[in-house]
Amino acid sequence: MDFFDIALLLLTFELIFHKFISEKVFLYSLYLAVLTVLAQFFAVGYKWQYMPLYLIIIVFSIKYTFQFALSNRFLRFFSMTLLLLLFVLSGLFIYFLPVPEFSNENGDYSVGIQQIVIDLDKVNPDAFVEISTLEPNTKRSLPVDIYYPSNESTKPVQLVRSSQSNWGQSVVKYLNRAWEIAIPEFILNHLQLSSFNVGVEIEPINNTLPVLVYSHGWAGEKIFAADQMMNLAANGYYVVAIDHTGLAMFSDLPSGTVFNTGSSEQSSDVVGVMAAMATDIVDTLDYLKNNEFFADFNNISVMGHSTGAGAIHLYCLEHSCKTIIFQDPFLTPIFEKYGSFEVLNNSYFIYSEDWYSGYLDSDELTEIEVFTSINSNNNYVGYYLSDSKHYDFVAFGSVSPLTSYTFLKGAIKYGDSVTTNNYFNLQAITNKPIQETSFLHKINK
């Protein structure tokens, strides 16, 4: 809970039990509650979870202004009960649906961010057009977030508060479509208020930085792994997170927002989608090489989640990659198309426990069968994250404790998953030994 959560809860609680305080203290509390609401609107933004608290403050403002009082004992009891119920509901909403706050877990530096849109002189691939709201024969644009280390001080900022699309609604719409459920679209509106402890376009450290490229999965989004990207940047890396426009859940462009509308079952060629994603990586790095001066583009590592893992694999088959990090990789389409999977040197695989052990009885080819079928002398290792599911490699767990034990994520707590992922990422990217922990377990080849 943040300052406004605690302040408004305490003030409204005091208002509800005003009979136990003096009228002067009640009046000061009411004024302070109104001022706190106004300050919260200005500093943080509108959050629907506060609505019951706003209603309580309005009720007491009206009651004080018009000196209104209930004479009937039953009505007084009923109104008191109703106000307490509103108070409890708001407290539960605030606790179970918090505004995510992303900060550097550890690192030697603060983190700067640069957000750009790369306009390419090429047409959007059919692989993306058929699964999105992209129009055929339109020019391709790629939104990119760049995280980098800095020595300048930073404070939490709301990077998406003024975005043209509400990414909380985008998440809900995607879940409703993909899982045939009916979650109210407003339920995640507060994600617009998410705070990131970064500096916008501050000065980088005076070093030439190694590069890490992040490729999100099907209907993922570059912001979904911001917590891990910030941690890598805080440890001295120039981190490039790409929105694969059309595949991403949503991509904000100057011309409007592009939404993903399909699943892998609706694509004519999943490997073709991965190949187009790999081309996005090439195009992004080519652009940055010509426009950036503090990154070492001869020292590139890559990380991909799910379909993004297939994309980075295809990219590294044609380009030099120092380290490859596969997060719950979706590699079976590649294996089925080519009959094998060519593992490259310094490859690190980390699976969810769901994907590691949940499909042992399946008649279809599983990701673990792909991993265990690898026959190579190259350096590669595999681990799994206990109590986890596929989305424990993105920041969904920060959205709400309610996501535990759902299809969104496993029982592992968000703090434990991001700490383990950060440890794994840093050990892998520096090619240091990875020790097993209470959450991280090695897979025998």
DSSP string of 243-259, one letter each residue: --TTTSSEEEETTEEEE
- What is the pLDDT at residue 38? 93
Give yes or no for a contact between 181 and 149, defined as CB atoms under 8 angstroms apart: no
- For residue range 41-93, list pLDDT tens digits in order: 988 888 899 999 999 999 999 988 888 777 788 888 888 899 999 999 999 99
Position 348 scores a pLDDT of: 97
pLDDT at residue 359 in the model: 63
> Which pTM does this prediction carry?
0.92
What is the mean pLDDT of the segment spanning 185-200?
92
The CA distance from 102 to 197, in Å, is 6
CA angle 115, 116, 119 (to 5 degrees): 165
Integer Cα distance of 311 and 283 in angstroms: 13
Q: What is the mean pLDDT of the chain?
A: 91
What are the C-alpha distances in Å from 122 to residues 139, 251, 289, 311?
A: 6, 18, 18, 19
Per-residue model confidence as pLDDT tens digits over 146-169: 999 999 999 999 988 877 778 888
Identity of residue 413: K
- Asked if the model's pLDDT at residue 268 lies above 70, the reply is no
The pLDDT assigned to 361 comes to: 58
pLDDT at 47: 86
pLDDT of residue 23: 86
Residue 326: name the closest of 355, 284, 298 by CA.
355
Integer Cα distance of 280 and 334 in angstroms = 18
pLDDT at residue 363 in the model: 73
Distances (CA, A) of 363 to 360, 369, 407, 443: 9, 11, 22, 21
Say if CB 422 and CB 385 are below 8 A apart.
no
Look at 106-110, 158-162, 177-181, 363-367 and tell me which has the smallest mean pLDDT.
177-181
